[in-house]
Amino acid sequence: MPEWVAAAQVGEIADGESKLVVVNDSDVAVYNLGGEYFAIEDLCTHDGGEISTGWVDGDRAVCPRHFAEFSIRTGEALKAPAYEGVHSFPVRVREGTVEVGDDRDD
């Protein structure tokens, strides 16, 4: 079972926007895509850029440093210069709070 961490209130993150939260010492970007929430690690696998400081293109997050693209839904790397995906965290909504689950092993 993941450990669930409160990340935002429903309505706090506008559609197509993100919020940076810290989950057990890791930066995590929580995105709202049309009322669905997703969370990916906010650390570009190309060269450590903060993906959440870039922009959203459909369901892709674009790293502002060299324009790699990641799937907001799965964390998959979709465009060079990133070839390795970022961790995608489970998200749930409980009583108006968006929660991120830390399902990593350690």
Tell me which residues touch ligand FES (CB under 6 A): 44, 46-49, 63, 65-66, 68, 81-82
Distance of CA 57 to the CA centre of its chain: 14
For residue 48, CA distances in Å to 44, 65, 97, 99 come to 5, 9, 29, 25
Please state the closest distance from residue 27 (CB atom) to ligand FES, in A. Answer: 13
Question: 10 or 79: whose CB is closer to ligand FES?
Answer: 79
Between residues 75 and 98, which has the closer beta carbon with respect to ligand FES? 75
| Phi/psi at 54 (5° precision) | -85, -140
Is residue 19 within 8 Å of residue 7, measured between CB atoms? yes
Least distance to ligand FES from the beta carbon of 18, Å? 15
User: With respect to ligand FES, which residue has the nearer C-beta, 8 or 86?
Assistant: 86
- Rounded to a whole number of angstroms, the minimum distance from the CB of residue 67 to ligand FES is 6
Q: Nearest distance from residue 69's CB to ligand FES, in Å?
A: 9
